[in-house]
Structure 1
């Protein structure tokens, strides 16, 4: 399991956006520097919370796209036009902005290198994000486990 206690992992932390990469017109990867990050496993997610000036809060869960070996936490977000959080993350957020995170969360769908058998990963749409973390972890660990990714998307973007 990732380093740290459950209570420590589930408290809200303030991270700083280091970099935003537009993957498609509707999808961005957001790399976040999180002080005292306890580490994560490939396949886990974080909760992101936004707080408006009037105190209203909205939060959503996003899979972590970065490998556990990466010093930054990267989430890949698809903008949903009627969403409360994703339009801000994809269209408004900028480098050096602060963002609230809680996690890492989840331990049932994780993968650790080295693998002991071939890895078959199947995803559709934004469900590919935790699988990206697994593939990146495999590469960072220089693991030679055979891997195959089957991916489907409704559009080319």
Structure 2
């Protein structure tokens, strides 16, 4: 399990890695500055194209779509809305990926304004798919620790390599 500022992190890297080149303020830098791990989880689950920003720093504008002020308010408000019994969306986003998937399937996301802005059930399907990906990333790391012959998938560069091999090199880009 990967943690960032005391919260489970679904994304392979913290938000500063995804920061938009040449900008002083962007949503990724703000989430990193305020150490908002729960919001980062929801954002990463909601916006799959975010993974392409570090890979294409010159064309980042093709992969990033900023929220309007109303969407930003609805995004953060959604975290505090009770969507399943007494659980808020923030509570669900703080669970391990497998448990979050189970809860998200039953959650009443339509109670949030952001549900309608983000695409309704398509948004839920996107988040469930990304949670499945996050779960696979955790399982891969768990297996790698056992010394097995594990293939690591780098979803940002869209390639596969054996863990620990010279083929698998992570790109580290300063924010």
Query: What TM-score, normalized by structure 1, do the two folds share?
Result: 0.28
Structure richer in helix, relative to its length: 2
Structure richer in strand, relative to its length: 1
Larger Rg: 2
Q: Which has the higher contact order (CA 8 A, sep 6+)?
A: 1
Query: What TM-score, normalized by structure 2, do the two folds share?
Result: 0.26
